Every structure is written in C-alpha cells, then in structure tokens.
Amino acid sequence: MLIAYTKQQQLFVSYQHSREALQMYRQYQQFFCPQCQQSVQLKIGQLNIPHFAHIASQSCERRFSEGESLLHLRGKIQLFEWLKSLGHTVELEPFLTTLSQRPDILLQSKQRAIALEFQCSAITNENWQLRTEGYEKNNIQALWLFQTPQNSYTTQAIQKIRISPIHQNVISYSSNNVPYLVTYDARAAKFNYWTNLLHVHGHTFIANVLDIPLETQYFPFYEPKSITYEAFIVYWHIYKRMCQQYVKQRLMRSKKGVQDLFLRSCYELKFSLNALPHYIGVPVINAKAIPIFSIEWQAILLDFCRKRQLLPYEMSKEEIQLFLTLLNLEPTNLRVQAIENYGKLLGYSFLQEKYSMEILGKVYEHLYSHLKV
Ligand SMILES: [Zn+2]
C-alpha cells in the first residue's frame, strides 16, 4: 500500500517523497495501517516504488494486497495523479468502513462516488462479483480497469481478438450503445481500446483496436463512435474468412461423418463446403446466446426449414424451440430471438441469386440500426 498514518494521525503518501527524505523519515517517524492501526514498515527499495508493508505476524485484511506488483503500484499512481490533474476529487486507497473494502482510487462525482479498481493480477469471477456488488449496494459505481494483457494487439486496426471471460464482464456501452472494452497499460501509460466489438464465436471477437495516451485521455473516458459502413466491410471480410477457416477445421475434426449434423445439412442442401453462400454464417443480434458458430447453426437451420418446407422467417416459436432442442440447447428467449433475427434478416429474398450481393448492407442495417448516430 502507498499510504499510512503517522503518529500525529497525518496521512502519509509514500511515493510523494524522495528516497533520501524517506530514509530520514524512517529514522524518527512511526507509521500505522489505516485499517488495522498496527504499526507498519516503510519499504524503500531501489527497484520498487516505496510502500508500506505489515510485519509477517500481523493479521490484517490489507496484507492480502501486499503482494502488489510494481506495475500495480505504478498504474495506481499514474491514474491517481492524472485524475487529480484533471481537477477531480480523488482519494488514494481509502478504507470504506461500511463495506470493509478498499478501492485503489475513490472519485467523487456529481451523481455518485466511483470506485476505480486497477486490476493487474488474476481475479476470480466470484471475487470480481462480490466486490462489484459490495460497491453497488452502497451506491458506489465500480469501475474496473484491467491492466492490458501482455502480448496484446499492437497494431491499431480492425482485427480478430480474444477476450477472456473476466474481461468480458467489463465490456461497456457508450451512450450510442457501442460495445467496447478499455484496459490500461501502466508500462506505456496508455489506455487500450477494443471498440465496436462484434462477437464471432467462443471468446473471439472482431474489434477496432486503438490506444489513447494517458495525457490525452479525459474522464469520463473517451467514448467510441458507431461503426461506419466502410469499416463494417472490413469486419465482414474478417468474419467470412473465419467462417471458411471454421468449416475447414470442422471437416478435419469431424469423425462422425454423415452423422455430423452440420456436414449432413450442407450435403442435403447441396452446398459446396468450399463455397457456402454468403447468407450462411452471418452475425445477428443475440447470436452470442447460441454457443455454436453462426455458420454451423444457420446451415442446420436452413436444412431444418427445407425439410418442413418453410422459410426461416415463417417458423413459429414452437418450431424454433424444437430446432434448439435438436441442437441440444435450452430454448431460452435470447436464443429464440437470435433465430428470429436471422429469419427476418433473410426474409424471402435469399433464394434469389442477387441476394448475396445485398446481404452485407442488410446485415449492417440489422446490427446497427438500433444505435443512435
Ligand atoms: Zn493493517
């Protein structure tokens, strides 16, 4: 931790003093933990940032966080100083007695306080949830800022990315409803943005990757704009390339042969696996709820409809539920909606040849028309 109390009950911030001054303070000053009030040691290494630590035998909840890495201490200081320089009312590592929680930074805003957590180490989903709920219950907004994963995407461009489940928890939405993820890289003092997230399958997304140096960022954070049609064409090509790769892998992996529902459906529909029509494998709203890649469930769906002599948009709720059961999936509302969305998107025109040219525009409209410009 970076703060402690002196004997005179003064708040003392370790990093704000030079190493020489700290050596001197250590001679005659005693420091106390703001939480358990026990005496703590001031550590002044040459490599680490000067900080306070409990003595091994002491029991205090704060000791859990004392494995704090240099990166965590550095990021916390950068963010704290940055918010202060923007004129915000901020506190470093305040202990919130009612919650028994200690955010890295507490920021006072007009509406309600914001607890900023700069998270460098791994955190379990349970812990993340507990801490988030703790804040929410006390009318404090939790703002999680994860350290940008190492070996992250360095080129600023539209690309395929992987977002771990814990990071997916903190995906935010701009006031225009644009989904994005902000992380912070304390090594480079930069915010990393993955904006206009489009889910592909599993933990894979397509995103526009960009970064914002700390000194040009503002608070509340910069919000990304809606995607343009031109940019979406790039998304579409990446998506389609992933569809092709998926089919290739699927063919190699499949041991079930004709029993394989996906391969069987393509065969029945007389589709060549090397050149599936563009209207199979399209992103639709709520498709994330179906844990199967769109190209697979959409091919199976079309064959399902062919057998019943239906067009996808003519399916009743019962038929959609039956279809989901065929895929061994619980027919939840979101899944039913995803299939309805796909049916509506296709309409009746997909049987016509010209449709393949128009689908891109239709998908763009479907995905983004609800967003405010
Ligand atoms: Zn303590």
Residue 96 has pLDDT above 60, yes or no: yes
Q: What is the whole-number distance in angstroms between the Cα of residue 56 and the centre of ligand 1?
A: 11
Residues 235 and 215 in one domain: no
Instruction: Note the pLDDT of residue 66.
Output: 64
Task: Examine the domain organization and report whether 252 and 116 are in the same domain.
Answer: no
CA of 52 to the centre of ligand 1 (A): 10
The answer to whether position 15 is within a domain reads yes
Q: What is the pLDDT of residues 244-268, one digit of tens each?
A: 999 999 888 877 666 789 999 999 9
Distance 277 CA to ligand 1 centre (A): 64
In angstroms, what is the span from residue 134 Cα to ligand 1's centroid? 20
Summarize pLDDT for 147-195 with one digit per residue, the tens.
998 878 878 899 999 999 999 999 999 998 999 999 999 999 999 999 9
Tell whether 25 and 75 lie within a shared domain.
no
- The answer to whether residue 194 sits within a structural domain is yes
Considering the domain architecture, whether residues 97 and 20 belong to the same structural domain is answered as: no
* Contact indicator for 32, 39 with CB cutoff of 8 Å: yes
Task: Measure 55 CA to ligand 1 centroid, in angstroms.
Answer: 9
Domain stops at, among 225, 242, 272:
225
Residue 354 has pLDDT above 60, yes or no: no
Same domain? For 218 and 249 the reply is no
Give which of 60, 43, 71 is closest to 102, Cα–Cα.
60
Q: Which structural domain, as residue segments, surrounds residue 362?
A: 231-368
Confidence of residue 352 (pLDDT cuts 50, 70, 90): low
Query: Domain check: are 180 and 253 in the same one?
Result: no
Using the mean position of ligand 1's atoms as its centre, give its distance from the Cα of residue 20 in Å.
Answer: 25
Question: Which one has a higher pLDDT value, 15 or 347?
Answer: 15
Classify residue 373: in a domain, yes or no: no
Distance 63 CA to ligand 1 centre (A): 7
Residues 28 and 45 in one domain: yes
> pLDDT digit string (tens) for 2-57?
999 999 999 999 999 999 999 999 999 999 998 888 999 999 988 788 999 888 77
User: What is the per-residue pLDDT for 361?
Assistant: 85
Find the DSSP H helices in the chain. 19-28, 70-85, 125-137, 165-168, 229-253, 261-268, 294-307, 317-326, 333-346, 355-368
118 and 198 housed in the same domain: yes
Domain boundary (209, 225, 241) is at 225
- pLDDT for residue 254: 76
Residue appearing with tokens 């911030």: 13
- Predicted confidence at residue 353, as pLDDT, reads 55
pTM of the model: 0.88
For residue 360, what pLDDT is reported? 83
Query: Which residues neighbour 11 within 8 Å (Cβ) at sequence distance 6 or greater?
Result: 3, 5, 34
182 in any annotated domain: yes
For residue range 194-227, list pLDDT tens digits in order: 999 999 999 999 999 999 999 999 999 999 999 9
Overall number of domains in the chain: 3
Longest Cα–Cα distance of the chain, Å, equals 88
Per residue in 219-229, is it b (16+ CB within 10 Å) or e — as a string?
Answer: bebbebebbee
- What pLDDT is attached to residue 307? 95
Q: How far is the CA of 64 from the centre of ligand 1 (A)?
A: 10
Residues 274 and 131 in one domain: no
One domain for residues 97 and 219: yes
Cα of 187 vs centre of ligand 1, distance in Å, is: 29
Ligand 1 centroid to Cα of residue 22, in Å, is 20
Q: What is the DSSP string of 272-298?
A: -TTS--TTSS---TTGGGSSS-HHHHH
- Same structural domain for residues 218 and 285? no
In a domain? residue 167: yes
What mean pLDDT, rounded, does the chain reach?
91
The residue ranking higher by pLDDT, 208 or 122, is: 208
Distance CA 108, CA 112 (A): 7
End-of-domain residue from the set 206, 225, 244: 225
Give ∠ CA 203-261-281 in degrees, rounded to 5.
Answer: 45
Half-sphere exposure of 295 (CA within 13 A, CB side): 23
pLDDT, one tens digit per residue, over 361-370 is 888 888 888 7
Residue 67 has pLDDT above 70, yes or no: no
State in Å: Cα 38 to ligand 1 middle. 6
Q: How many CB atoms lie within 10 A of CB 7?
A: 11
Residue 159 domain-assigned (yes or no): yes
Residues 57 and 125 in one domain: no
> Is 189 a domain residue?
yes
CATH number at residue 74: 3.40.1350.10
| Kind of pairing between the strands at 141-147 and 179-185 | parallel
